[in-house]
Chain A
Amino acid sequence: MTNSDNPSLLTVNDLTVRFPVRQGFEHRYVHAVERVSFTLERGRTLGLVGESGSGKTTVGRSLLGLLPTAKIHGEALLEDSNILNISHSHRRRSLTPRMQMIFQDPAGSLNPRMTVGNIIAEPLRCHRKLTSGNIWKRVPDLLTQVGLSPAYASRYPHEFSGGQRQRIGIARAIALQPDIVICDEPVSALDVSIQAQILNLLKDLQDQLGLSYLFIAHNLAVVRHFADDVAVMYLGRIVERAPADHIMDITNVRHPYTRSLLASIPLPDPTAHVGREPLTGEMPSPIAPPTGCAFHPRCPLARKVATTLPEDQTVTIASGDQELTLPRTCVDAIPTLEPVSGESHHTCACHFANATQD
């Protein structure tokens, strides 16, 4: 798979992130991310999709070293150099100029007491690549690049709308001309009509600057539109990965969680038949994740498959106030990402990925 000309810009192997937490007198861990692996190629966009608690935001932050309290294991290589658990000075030299982040909350991600110009100039100042005079030439260019007037540099964030603030955040992220930009839910907090503007901007910048994006979101439709490949996360694990247009067709999807996710999306069509069963229950807490496959307490496929299996291969567990009979493998063994039969580039982490599902 990997040759000396590795086209992958970013390779992540078995990334595991745990936060120590004290509950009463016990020390426990929040298992935010469990053994996540993926690659990001130059110039492409990988969408990371999941609901709250899935760990997708944690993946992004751990790659940039923004989680000082977390215990991080595993490996992440930015073109052969390791970027996890490195010292601050090392990170500043090798990582920061090449990988940047756009945040979800346009208001909270800008210092209210700093002018827009200073906010955008900050990365340039930190890295001293340009002299002061040149910094002040670059700032107006960046503003224009994101569609804002250069005159805005002397104003404060609160004078702008959500969409404009997000543009400022984008200008800050591209100031150092990074290779990778991690977009952490960049349009979730924006109105629909503004979302479209910002997504177009991001696409344009990708074409102009050759950026690679790690696009983190919970809105599947947006990810599908924007990303080349999609990885779906559930409770800290990647459960399915496939090219974007492939994964959005529910008949192609193999993992039962992804199916439920797709089925839950409301369609903007009043004549469409609403006949599906919504997924029951809620995502369990990452402090005490279920054994084996994290999805087994809620998995409709597991329940169905269990009816076809002999008794010694099933086990009955209590879930909420109900009793469920599930396949033993689902409860005991953690599934790994395996390629789906007959399809390249499509992997799924499910013991019964190839079982028929209706």
Chain B
Amino acid sequence: MTTTYDILLTVDDLQTCFRTEAGLLRAVDGVSFEIPRGQTFALVGESGCGKSVTALSILKLLPPAGISNGLIRLGDDELDRLTDWEMQPVRGGRIGMIFQEPMTSLNPVFTCGAQIVEAIRLHRECSAREARKHAIDLLDQVGIADPAQRMKEYPHQLSGGMRQRVMIAMALSCEPELLIADEPTTALDVTIQAQILELLRKIQRERQLTLLLITHDLAVVAEMADSVGVMYAGTMVERTDVKQLFANPLHPYTQGLFRSLVTMEETRERLDTIPGSVPHLSALPVGCPFHPRCDKGQTDARCATCRPDLREVAPGHFCACYVAPNYDNAEPKP
């Protein structure tokens, strides 16, 4: 573990399950990572891998059927020990969150201004007028033209890009230390996505904000992240800094993801694919969850019997695969 950086968020062995009619489903099974202050960590994976659930577990925003265990430390505080009541000031106050679908995450029957003001007044003692002024200021900072007018408008009157900016303004309103962005640009057009990503970078620079970015888009990861964790079926299969990941992906799933990427550069007649599909949480394979689809041919007998844990196979580069070079020599995590 690095000691030279000031680590803001530590997640250690997070496990989240859901009680369902089909039994206990493990949505997140032993995920660990750290984010140094002021940096961006990206959680990458396809749908169903558990990345959104991880974010919700950190904020304790799981539905009643969800139970979560594991260490979550923000600065000096251990969040996992807090009750729901004690988490209130943390949510919004220390950790802000923006969601994928701005239409459904903004309340359609309240004006944008009312919603931002509400967020502000939940965490601060100030008068309505001060809150309004702060809100207008925030809207301006997130690049909304004519903010005073926008305050009076309803979410459906704004475009997708604007709504996302409003969401960002709301999330920033109480000066959080950590911002969690769950697929913030997936629903947006590419030119608007570029604007929003630029905005996030600018905010990060100005406020020394730490960012936990959740996405399935590797290109966005390349643009925004300092370090990356790749998730598959609820487990983290690879974790390293972003340059290492793109230069030398070690886990077969990560390699498969890169191969299936449709890039602007080359044209291939046929795309490489990862055969099969992501297993349902109620039917996870025994052993490594990826092994039925793995092109390494299960060369190691352990693949089908015992799940590999995440080990540091190279400095700063963690991988959970028996076939990764240097895996057997690496120390298991303490």
Contact = CB atoms under 8 A, between A and B. Distances in A.
Interface of A: 51-52, 161, 163-164, 191-197, 199-200, 203, 218-222, 224-225, 245, 248, 260-272, 274, 276, 278-280, 282-283, 320-321
Interface stretch (B50-58, B204-212, B257-265, B323-331): B257-265
15 contacts: A191-B47, A192-B46, A192-B260, A192-B261, A193-B274, A196-B271, A203-B269, A203-B270, A224-B267, A248-B264, A260-B191, A266-B193, A267-B263, A270-B222, A270-B223
A269 B264 CA distance: 12
Contacts of B217: 266
A229 B195 CA distance: 28
Contacts of B285: none
Interface string B222-239: 110100000000000000
B197 interface: yes
B43 interface: no
Given A163-B277, A192-B216, A282-B162, A265 B190 contact: yes
Given A52-B189, A270-B222, A224 B273 contact: no
A194 B277 contact: yes
A195 B219 contact: no
Contacts of B258: 268
Given A196-B271, A200-B270, A264 B216 contact: no
Contact of A265 (B219, B221, B243): B219
B220 A266 contact: yes
Interface in B236-285: 242-243, 246, 256-258, 260-264, 267-274, 277-278
A36 B243 CA distance: 44
Interface residues of B, number: 47
A199 B197 CA distance: 28
A271 B197 CA distance: 17
B259 to A, nearest CB: 8
Contact of B219 (A222, A267, A276, A279): A267
Nearest to A49: B190
B145 A320 contact: yes
A270 B246 contact: yes
A222 B260 CA distance: 11
B238 to A, nearest CB: 15
Contact of B262 (A52, A196, A261, A279): A196
B222 A193 contact: no
Nearest to B258: A268
A268 B218 contact: yes
Give the most central of A191, A194, A262: most B CB within 10 Å. Answer: A191
Nearest to B246: A270
Contacts of A224: 264, 267
Contacts of A222: 262
Contacts of A260: 191
Contacts of A191: 46-47, 216, 278
B271 A200 contact: yes
Contacts of A218: 189-190
Contacts of B192: 51, 282
Contacts of B189: 51-52, 218, 283
B198 interface: yes
Given A191-B47, A225-B262, 7 more contacts: A220-B264, A224-B264, A268-B261, A269-B246, A279-B191, A282-B161, A320-B146
Contacts of A197: 273
A165 to B, nearest CB: 12
B146 A264 contact: no
A222 B261 CA distance: 9
Contacts of A263: 194
B105 interface: no
Interface string B298-310: 0000000000000
A141 to B, nearest CB: 23
Nearest to B45: A191
